[in-house]
A and B are shown apart, each in its own frame.
Chain A
Amino acid sequence: SQQGEEDPQALSIQEGENATMNCSYKTSINNLQWYRQNSGRGLVHLILIRSNEREKHSGRLRVTLDTSKKSSSLLITASRAADTASYFCATDAYFGNEKLTFGTGTRLTIIP
């Protein structure tokens, strides 16, 4: 299965601290995306990184991708209470594949 695994499963930090979540996957990918899901809601796209990219930034988000290790990390800097959510990585296995396979998710709690 292509499904990614995320680590840790749950993370609690103080507001203002940085949060790092990791995603590992099993087979070669075309792109990797990160999504956020607030409790009981749909997913919201955060950032996409292509297989030939190593790092990408968007606001307080920093994503890295290591295709040799089949892993990615999402760093949220200066966390806020509103960042409390579940975070999922998602991969598409090959060029032209419109399907995504989601990882198991990390539940992030920001303590005010």
Chain B
Amino acid sequence: DAMVIQNPRYQVTQFGKPVTLSCSQTLNHNVMYWYQQKSSQAPKLLFHYYDKDFNNEADTPDNFQSRRPNTSFCFLDIRSPGLGDAAMYLCATSRDLGAGGQEQYFGPGTRLTVT
């Protein structure tokens, strides 16, 4: 089945130790998104790739970076995790043809714990 896969599902890292979360998709969608979701809150968009074009949200900390080496894969790098970065990180994809408003397909998420 076509899907969005996130690895690992659970990640524990130490304060200040870089960590990378990965996302892959078999949907061949052109847009990939990274969201941060803290407990009982709405998902907050960090950035997204429209094809190869990177789009950063204005309030996304510089501590967060992303890479999309090809259509199928996207990575979230947290350069120096702080305790406040503990959250669920959700990857999503959509097939956008220029009109916007398409449904997004989400992966199961990676829960990040910072010790």
A42 touches B106 (CB 8 A): yes
Instruction: Decide if B104 is an interface residue (CB 8 Å cutoff).
Output: yes
Q: Which of B12-20, B62-70, B73-81, B93-101 contacts A (4 or more CB under 8 A)?
A: B93-101
B100 touches A44 (CB 8 A): no
Write out the residue numbers on chain A whose beta carbons fall within 8 Å of the beta carbon of B8. none
Knowing A30-B101, A50-B101, A94-B100, the reply to whether A99 touches B48 (Cβ < 8 A) is: yes
Compute how far the CA of A40 lies from the CA of B9 in the bound complex, rounded to whole angstroms. 10
B42 touches A105 (CB 8 A): yes
B101 touches A44 (CB 8 A): no
Within 8 A of A (CB), among B83-114: 88, 90, 92, 94, 96, 98-109, 111
Instruction: Decide if A112 is an interface residue (CB 8 Å cutoff).
Output: no
Instruction: Decide if B31 is an interface residue (CB 8 Å cutoff).
Output: yes
Instruction: Decide if A104 is an interface residue (CB 8 Å cutoff).
Output: yes
Knowing A98-B31, A98-B96, the reply to whether A92 touches B107 (Cβ < 8 A) is: no
Write out the residue numbers on chain A whose beta carbons fall within 8 Å of the beta carbon of B43. 43, 88, 102
**5 nearest A-B pairs in the assembled complex, by CB-CB distance:** A42-B106, A31-B101, A102-B42, A45-B103, A97-B100
Given contacts A42-B108, A43-B90, 13 further A-B contacts (CB under 8 A): A3-B42, A30-B100, A31-B101, A33-B101, A42-B106, A42-B107, A43-B106, A92-B101, A95-B100, A96-B99, A99-B33, A102-B43, A107-B40
**24 A-B pairs, CB-CB below 8 angstroms?**
A30-B100, A30-B101, A33-B101, A40-B109, A42-B4, A42-B108, A43-B43, A43-B90, A43-B92, A48-B103, A50-B101, A88-B42, A88-B43, A96-B100, A98-B48, A99-B33, A99-B55, A100-B45, A100-B104, A101-B45, A103-B42, A104-B41, A105-B40, A105-B42
